[in-house]
Structure 1
Amino acid sequence: MSTTPTLNGQSIGQAHYATRALLERAVAPLGVNFGQVLALNVLAAGPVAPAQLVRRITSTLKVDEPAVYEVIASLTDADLAHLDEASLRLTDTGHATQARVADAVAGITARLYADIPTDEASIAARVLTLVTQRANAELAAIPA
């Protein structure tokens, strides 16, 4: 007997963690972790003030600021990013690594979403965006 899947935190989380595990395995040979991947992707668009990157990653991963500063330090230590007076930017090595990450993401995305009809994918994206907005609103309402 087959049951209809339920859209809830558990099913969303399982999809997230399975996809994240694929990504982490794909980027492990590059010597980067998930937090570094997120930072590399932000920096690929151009130089960013460290505080702006910290806000972006803390709001995405729901981690504290010291964890993001550790990511920044690890990127600079690995010569993937350079921190000057006002901004953090990718080095040539960082650009090359981020390009390889983007290729890995594109491959995973192509395999996982290949046969999902566009209209269904659009509906799922809208629903997940709404759930994320609602969860973020609730988080913002909780005193720190």
Structure 2
Amino acid sequence: MSSTSSTTSRPPFGTAVIGQTEKALNAILERQLAGTAITEPQWVALTLTVVSGGTLTGDLLVQRISDVLKVDPAVARQRVAELAAADLVRTTPDGVVEPTEDGRALWGRVRSGIDRITQRLWGDLPDADLTTAGRVLTTVLTRANALLAAG
């Protein structure tokens, strides 16, 4: 097979390749979450809780979850309630939502697996390519968020 024919057999950059990539990455995440009893939306909520370092009040955390998951704040609040019911997060007396010891341990185990996979997926790609990909995807994300906000 010539180099030209292998190049032309690749799908062109666009929504199809972005969508297929997103589906493949979600499937990988689902495998990492298997046996944890948490869903992908709960994982996102737990991640936002952990990386906030226990500095976000419930309302701020719910807003971040809502923004990231593109869901109504009531749905985001439900994800936090589910994590609290599973003893993965708790609310402090001053209203800050923080991970419990179990939540932090679970997050660390799953994150470690994701980090290993991430390294396999793009760890050997040139920095310039990663910078370009990051810039392009951030631009598309910003535009998509603006469209969503405009209704």
Higher Rg: 2
Alpha-carbon separation, structure 1, partners of 2:41 and 2:139: 24
Query: 65, 73, 82: which one pairs with 1:74?
Result: 82
**1:37 and 2:46 aligned:** no
Kept in 2, the 8 Å contact 1:23–1:108? The answer is no
Query: 1:91 offset after TM fit, Å?
Result: 0.6
Amino acid across the alignment from 2:81: A
Aligned CA RMSD, in angstroms, stands at 1.5
Query: 140, 143, 148: which one pairs with 1:131?
Result: 140
Q: Which residue of 1 aligns with 2:72?
A: 64
Aligned pairs for 1:90-101 (under 5 A) are 90-101=99-110
Q: Which residue of 2 aligns with 1:111?
A: 120
Amino acid across the alignment from 2:41: G
Q: Which consecutive residues of structure 2, in runs of 5 or more, have no partner in the other structure?
A: none
Amino acid across the alignment from 2:108: A
Alpha-carbon separation, structure 1, partners of 2:73 and 2:16: 27
How many residue pairs were aligned? Answer: 142
Kept in 2, the 8 Å contact 1:23–1:104? The answer is no
Query: 1:23 offset after TM fit, Å?
Result: 0.8
Q: Which residue of 1 aligns with 2:131?
A: 122
**1:12 and 2:18 aligned:** yes
Q: Which moved more, 1:125-134 or 1:26-35?
A: 26-35
> Percent identity of the aligned residues?
37
Query: 110, 133, 149: which one pairs with 1:140?
Result: 149
Deviation per residue, 1:79-104 (Å, 9 max, x gap): 10112341111111011011112102
